[in-house]
Amino acid sequence: MAHAVIPAINCENLECVKDTLDLAHEFLPEGGWIHLDVADARFTYNRTWGNPEEWKALRCGYRLEAHLMAEEPEKVIDSWLDAGAERLIVHLETLSLNRPEAMEYILRECKKRNAEAFLAINPETPVERLYAFANKFSGFQTLAVHPGLAGQKFYPLVIDKIRALREKYPKMQIEADGGINAETGKRAKDAGANILVAASYVFGAMNPKGAYQELLHL
């Protein structure tokens, strides 16, 4: 199965974002996808940089996939859509059955703005909980680490989740994120993931372009 690789920005401040984008410009063509981790220190233990207005001002030339690791993502989606996000990733754990109106609002606004909406789950969340939403979201994300910090170790149990999703939904976009390197990326791809997201493995490498190309040619 053909797959895409999306490099991820996980930063604490704007200067770090700019430096990471400078590295991306060395290998990622204009119009390519970039993944931005936005952690709110409520759903996550840490907070990352996440200023939609500053992002918009950067005019980096990339298509933005914003991973909203936020307790109440519905309160920030409009700002990210205004900033040009073409795909929003929100977490099932924050949109439980007790808050169906929040999920419907996110889906409605993404549709209105021609943006994709992906639904993510944490490593400990049963994959079966995604099944009820397959006809609502454009894709699923299986997070292979705890949300928030970059550089964490890949949880192998996620491979079975990816495989189960691919078997049940042959045409669904399935993204693997967290702890992705050449080894785990190949395992995720072979299990059925068609999008691999990597932060540390690419931007922490001595040769970011080489690391990106390595993942692209798994």
177 catalytic? Reply is yes
Q: What is the β-pairing status of strands 173-177 and 139-143?
A: parallel
Instruction: Give the tens place of pLDDT for each residue, 128-170.
Output: 999 999 999 999 999 999 887 788 889 999 999 999 999 999 9
**Among the options 40, 82, 160, 177, which is catalytic?**
177
Task: Output the DSSP codes for 140-188.
Answer: EEEE-S-SS-SSPPP-TTHHHHHHHHHHH-TTSEEEEESS--HHHHHHH
Average pLDDT over residues 18-36: 97
Residue 192: phi and psi, rounded to 5, are 130, 0
Task: Output the DSSP codes for 32-77.
Answer: -EEEEEEEBSSSSSSB----HHHHHHH---SEEEEEEE-SSGGGTH
Q: What is the pLDDT of residue 51?
A: 98
* CB-based burial label for 16 (10 Å; 0-12, 13-18, 19+): middle
Which percentage of the chain shows pLDDT scores above 90?
92
- pTM here is 0.96
**Among the options 19, 22, 37, 160, which is catalytic?**
37
Domains of the chain in sequence order:
4-216 (3.20.20.70)
Q: What is the pLDDT of residue 150?
A: 81
22 catalytic? Reply is no
Instruction: Give the tens place of pLDDT for each residue, 101-122.
Output: 999 999 999 999 999 999 999 9
